[in-house]
Amino acid sequence: MNDTIFALSSGAPPAAIAVVRISGPLAHSAVAHLCGALPDPRVARLRRLYAADGTLIDTGLVLWFPGPGSATGEDLIELHLHGGRAVVAAIEGALRAQGLRRADPGEFTRRAFANGRIDLAEAEGLADLLEAETELQRRQAISLASGALSGWVAGWRERVLAASAAVEAVLDFEDEGDVTQLGPAFADGLGVLADEIAEVLDCPRAEMLREGFRVVLAGPPNVGKSSLFNRLVEDEAAITAPTAGTTRDVLTRSVALAGIPFVFADTAGLRADASDEVEAIGIGRARGEAVRADLVLWLGPEGEGEGATIWEVESFADIDGRCTKAAARHRVSARSGEGIDALRRDLVEAARSILPRPGQIAVNQRQSGLLELAADALRAASAEGDPLLIAENLRQAREAFDRLLGNSGTEDMLDALFGRFCIGK
């Protein structure tokens, strides 16, 4: 990482302001070549920026953050310019002419990680923050990016290190009388630590929050699935018609209700006598959606719904002679809007009950797997009597914590993570 990179870190031009970031050993000299003397560190100053031939490119603010106390851990400069395409292109051309190169996606954050400014768990939180679309996603991501999980893991690791030191003392000085042997309190302490990790593992996963609470509308043809779907997503996304088999594939739409992410899925009508092969494929996909749904809104005959969690919904509530249900959880009319608000409120409460709560640590699949390894190793150590085996289990727990924080890992995993970031971040 000895080269110097640059990128547009704000929105695509044209825009009111364009922020160009430069990071690396040549950042200071490259910008000084454009504007002369740089301002004092962390002080914004107005400067004229010139091309190599002396042509004025633009007048803008220059901010200099000397490394290692910068976001990337190396010299970092921001240029706040007018956001026209020609201005941005001219600045990028002037930087490229001095040997700087355009940054890859996520490269600024990857440098921050490599230089110890953030750990891997914080980087994952930052990636989630950039992708957050709802308030609940934002709050969870900002908690992770701010080091909430990292703080817990660092504390657990320190306790394991202390336990390891006690074991090493027994191994190294077991023949000397001034070293106390490991006792029941030692094993109990490891068990308590494993239980604390288990509490985090019992919380809902971050993937559920990222993907959203999945609600599938299911039932036979012409029971109002697509009409209700359109009402819930507040858009005419699905085609509605009295002809059976109008919906032939799964139609999904992501929306936020009360700041909570939902994915609604409209499905093909379930019936035994599909009109053709395409409809039959759609029916198969509808059954598959019901299996993977967090909740199925069943609009068909009472008691015939498929899925782990099913709500009986009676549609066409404003039509006389409709097919009624004795134990309908909701009675709605997509046409008049009757019962729709009550259904939405109920959906929000159902989602809140299984999604991570604000302030609750929600780990992703990678983090969960490593925490499970640590907890298992700690439980094994607490049940073991041989100090050598205890020491090995504690080493495995420390290694799991180190991998979670990115103190050890593989390049492939890092490539996948930082590839989620945009250029300029």
316 within some domain: yes
Indicate the residue among 114, 142, 169 that finishes a domain: 114
313 neighbors 329 (Cβ within 8 angstroms): yes
pLDDT at position 420 over 60: yes
Residue 70 CB-density burial (10 A; 0-12 exposed, 13-18 middle, 19+ buried): buried
Choose among 367, 395, 370: nearest CA to 161: 395
Q: Is 201 exposed, middle or buried (0-12, 13-18, 19+ CB in 10 A)?
A: middle
The verdict on 146 and 218 lying in the same domain is no
* Residue 256 domain-assigned (yes or no): yes
Q: Above 70 in pLDDT, residue 175? A: no
**What tokens does 212 get?**
């959203």
Residues 108 and 168 placed together within one structural domain of the fold: no
Q: Where are the alpha helices (DSSP H) in 311-364?
A: 340-354
pLDDT band per the 50, 70, 90 thresholds, residue 21? very high
Q: Answer whether residue 62 is part of any domain.
A: yes
- Does residue 217 sit in the same domain as residue 346? yes
CATH number at residue 250: 3.40.50.300
Residue 308: per-residue pLDDT: 79
Cα dihedral across residues 34, 78, 22, 1: positive or negative: positive
Number of folded domains that form the chain:
3
| 243 band by pLDDT with thresholds 50, 70 and 90 | very low
Residue (of 319, 362, 315) closest to 340 by Cα position: 315
Residue 239 domain-assigned? yes
Which of 62, 95, 114 terminates a domain? The answer is 114
- Which pLDDT belongs to residue 155? 95
The reply to whether 420 falls in a domain is no
Q: Are residues 175 and 285 in the same domain?
A: no
Residue 404 has pLDDT above 80, yes or no: yes
**Structure token pair of residue 31:** 């910008």
Which pLDDT does position 411 carry in this prediction? Answer: 58
Report yes or no on 298 lying in a domain. Answer: yes
pLDDT over 80 at 15, yes or no: yes
413 belongs to a structural domain: no
- Closest by CA to 375, choosing from 160, 118, 186, 54, is 160
pLDDT tens for 65-82 read 999 999 999 999 999 999
Band of residue 20 on the pLDDT scale cut at 50, 70, 90: very high
Residues 92 and 148 in one domain: no
What's the pLDDT at 27? 95
C-alpha closest to that of 424 among 109, 137, 7, 3: 7
Angstrom distance (rounded) from CA 378 to CA 406:
20
pLDDT at 425: 66
Average pLDDT, the chain: 86
Q: What CATH number should be reported for the domain holding residue 38? A: 3.30.1360.120
pLDDT of 360 higher than 80: no
With CA atoms as reference, report the closest residue to 238 among 223, 253, 259, 222: 253
Kindly state whether residues 143 and 107 are assigned to the same domain.
Answer: no
| CB 210 within 8 Å of CB 230 | no
**57 strand-pairing partners:** none
Q: In percent, how much of the chain has pLDDT > 70?
A: 87
Instruction: Take residue 43 and report the two structure tokens written for it.
Output: 């002080």
Q: Which domain does 139 fall in, by range? A: 122-205+362-406
Residue-level pLDDT at 410:
52
Determine the pLDDT at residue 245: 46
Q: Are 68 and 75 in contact (CB under 8 A)?
A: no
- When pLDDT is averaged across residues 12-19 and rounded to a whole number, the result is 93
Examine the domain organization and report whether 315 and 231 are in the same domain.
yes
Please indicate, yes or no, whether residues 220 and 345 belong to a single structural domain of this protein: yes
| pTM attached to this predicted model | 0.73
Indicate whether 186 and 228 sit together in one domain.
Answer: no
Q: How many CB atoms lie within 10 A of CB 327?
A: 8
On whether the CB atoms of residues 359 and 174 are closer than 8 A, the answer is no
Please state, in angstroms and rounded to a whole number, the distance separating the CA atoms of residues 146 and 106. 18
pLDDT at 41 over 70: yes
Using the 3D structure, point to which of 68, 85, 114 is the last residue of a domain. Answer: 114
Pair type for strands 76-83 and 45-50: unpaired
Could you tell me if 167 and 223 lie in one domain?
no
- pLDDT exceeds cutoff 90 at 345: yes
Looking at the chain, the number of H-run helices and the number of E-run strands are 14, 12
pLDDT of 416 above 80 = no
CATH code for position 147: 1.20.120.430
User: Helix crossing, 365-382 with 148-173: angle to 10°?
Assistant: 30
Residue 417 lies in a domain: no
Asked whether residue 264 falls in the same domain as residue 136, the answer is: no
Predicted confidence at residue 45, as pLDDT, reads: 96
